[in-house]
Structure 1
Amino acid sequence: MPNDNTQFFIKESAFEQALVDLLPHHGWEKEVIMQPSEADLIQNWANIIFDNNRDINRLGNATLTTSEMQQIIDQVNRCDNPYAMNRLING
C-alpha cells in the first residue's frame, strides 16, 4: 500500500519535472541541461572532471583540452563491461 508521500503521474514529462525538482534537495546541482547534444554532455563531463581536480597539484586552473577529453573517452570506450568503466571513471 502506498504511503501518504506517494505521487502518481499521468504524463512522463510531469514525472521528469518532479525528479528534476527533487534532485537538488539531495546534493545535485540545480542547473539541468535540457535536450543536450553529445557535445554538450562531453563538455559537462569535462567541466565536472575539472571541478573535481582543480587542486594545484592536479589540474590547477588548466581546463582539459579537446584532445585530453578525447583520450578519456577513448579509455572509457576500451572498457569491456560497465564495471570496468565505473572503476576507470571513479578510480
Structure 2
Amino acid sequence: MEDRIQQHLNDKKANPPIHVYSYQFNGATVYYETSPCCDQYTTLYAADGKVLCHPDGGFTGRGDGKCADFSKNRTEEKLVWQDPR
C-alpha cells in the first residue's frame, strides 16, 4: 500500500480526497481504497497488494460484482491513510 499512497501523492489531489482503510474480510486483512469521484470503482487489495475486486462504484454503484458481500461482511475498520493535501 505504501507504493499506492506514494502514487496518490505524486498525482494531482483528488476531489474528494483518497482514503485507504483496512478491514478484516473472509479471515484476512484487506485494504479498501476509495475512488476520487463519480462512477469510478473503489478497489479492494489483499495484504500483499494484489487487487481482489472492486466492491462498489462504477455506473451501477455495485462495483464489479466479484465481492458483493464485502460491505456486509467486513469488520474492524481502521483508517490507514487519507490524502492530507
The TM-score range, normalised by the shorter chain, is under 0.3
The structure with the largest alpha-carbon Rg is: 1
- Greater relative contact order: 1 or 2 (C-alpha under 8 angstroms, separation 6 or more)? 2
Q: Which of the pair is proportionally richer in helix?
A: 1
Q: Which of the pair is proportionally richer in strand?
A: 2
